[in-house]
Amino acid sequence: MASQGLGKEQSIQEMVAQSRNRKGKKFIEKLMPIILIITALISVLTTIGIVFTLIFETFEFFQRVSITDYLFGREWLPFSGSEPLYGVLPLILGTLKVSVIAACVAVPLGIAAAIYLSEYASDKTRRTIKPILEVLAGVPTIVYGFFALTFVTPLLQELIPSLKIFNALSPGIVVGIMILPMIASLSEDAMSSVPNSIREGALALGATKLEVSIKVVLPAALSGIIASVVLAVSRAIGETMIVSLAGGATPTFDFNVTGSIQTMTAYIVQVSSGDAGYGTTIYYSIYAVGFTLFVFTLIMNLLAQYISKRFREEY
């Protein structure tokens, strides 16, 4: 009996050993991490690809156009046959006009909506409104662009007769509507994570809900709110289809918002949808503009990360 039991034990040990040493299995255990690390490196390669693509083609562009002309030039006229001018400032200004208008629309509304959802609304209301905000965030930008061109612009023209068909105001407002859910949702998250005990402390001292929201919750959640705004503005800077459809294609160096403008993104779209041949200066210029855009958004994103890490209140 004893020897039989021992025999069984040995056979189990053998089975375990056998299973451990099975060649295919060992191979897979070694192989899979390598395959997975390769997939993880693809995302790193993507970043490297973006940076190198932009740098190489931009370098090619600066062989033909001087950097100072590009950075400080106040006229962007790449299509004027004999004397093309590549001063990027009008494009940057166009982008900033749209982004500032968008921020003016989205920041107050977004933060107000976040305060309402986090401090005033009942659980049930919050559970209905938040998904609707998500839907608003999921609407494709081409739909917003169409909305800006065919609805908001004619509406604004009723109010401001001097408004052109293509202008900075209408796409600015619509980009604001587009980034509003992002600010509302991220700010609401930041405010909801402020612990209830702090609210209750303030309420017990006789503060009204408004005072609790403005003087207690808002300061405590400020880093999250500012980070959400910076992220949203970065999204507005990179927004393409709304400004391509409703913004026009005349880069100007002024602060007028009723006339036609052109943003960095809209210029890239304009060149891509036309037929600027490969290897022409115009072809390389979209990479220079793309690089400028990339630098802008990268700085904004890093800033948002820095703010939310550095100034976060820990509870």
Partner 1 sequence: MKYIDDTVVMKRMKSRLKYNSIWKMIFLIATTLALLTLVILLVRIVTQGSGYLNWDFFNNFGSRFPEKAGIKAALIGSVLLMLIIAPVSMILGVGTAIYLEEYAKKNKFTSFIQMNISNLAGVPSIVFGLLGLTIFVRMLVLGKSLLAAGFTMSLLILPVIIVASQEAIRAVPKEQREASYGMGATKWQTITRVVLPAAIPGILTGSILALSRAVGETAPLVVLGIPVILQFLPDGLLSQFTTLPLQIYDWAKRPQEAFQYVASAGIIVLMILLVIMNSIAIFIRNKFQKRY
Is residue 177 part of the contact set for partner 1 (CB under 8 A)?
yes
Is residue 35 part of the contact set for partner 1 (CB under 8 A)?
yes
Contacting partner 1 within 37-76 (CB under 8 A): 37-40, 42-44, 46-47, 49-50, 53-54, 57
Contacting partner 1 within 206-265 (CB under 8 A): 206, 208-211, 231, 234, 237-241, 244-245, 265
Smaller CB separation from partner 1, 52 or 72? 52
H/E segment holding residue 85: strand 85-86
Q: C-beta of 169: minimal distance to partner 1 in Å? A: 16
Report the distance separating Cα 160 and Cα 104, nearest Å: 18
Q: C-beta of 259: minimal distance to partner 1 in Å? A: 19
Smaller CB separation from partner 1, 8 or 215? 215
Contacting partner 1 within 178-207 (CB under 8 A): 180-181, 184, 206
Is residue 33 part of the contact set for partner 1 (CB under 8 A)?
yes
Q: What is the DSSP string of 177-244?
A: HHHHHHHHHHHHHHHHTS-HHHHHHHHHTT--HHHIIIIIIHHHTHHHHHHHHHHHHHHHHH--HHHH
Q: C-beta of 1: minimal distance to partner 1 in Å? A: 27
Token reading at 279: 């290897």
Contacting partner 1 within 2-21 (CB under 8 A): 16, 19
Phi/psi for 237 (5° steps) reads -65, -40
Give the interface segment with partner 1, choosing from 77-85, 189-197, 254-262, 297-305 (CB under 8 A).
297-305
Q: C-beta of 228: minimal distance to partner 1 in Å? A: 13
Smaller CB separation from partner 1, 244 or 260? 244
Token reading at 53: 């693509």
**Measured between alpha carbons, how far is residue 65 from residues 57, 84, 172, 208, 251 in Å?**
12, 10, 31, 61, 18
Report the distance separating Cα 274 and Cα 268, nearest Å: 10
Is residue 269 part of the contact set for partner 1 (CB under 8 A)?
yes
Q: C-beta of 268: minimal distance to partner 1 in Å? A: 6
Three-class SS of residue 76?
strand
301, 289, 298, 299: which is closest to 92 by C-alpha?
A: 289
Give the interface segment with partner 1, choosing from 73-81, 83-91, 192-200, 267-275 (CB under 8 A).
267-275
Q: C-beta of 286: minimal distance to partner 1 in Å? A: 7
Binding-site member from 6, 17, 32, 160 for partner 1 (CB under 8 A)? 32
Q: C-beta of 119: minimal distance to partner 1 in Å? A: 8
Is residue 298 part of the contact set for partner 1 (CB under 8 A)?
yes
Smaller CB separation from partner 1, 1 or 42? 42
Report the distance separating Cα 88 and Cα 68, nearest Å: 10
Contacting partner 1 within 103-162 (CB under 8 A): 108-109, 112-113, 115-117, 120-121, 129, 132-133, 135-136, 138-147, 149-151
Q: In terms of DSSP H, where are the helices of the chain?
A: 2-21, 23-64, 67-72, 89-115, 123-138, 141-147, 153-159, 169-192, 196-204, 209-211, 218-220, 222-238, 241-246, 264-273, 281-310
Cα 197–201–206 angle (5° rounding)?
Answer: 145
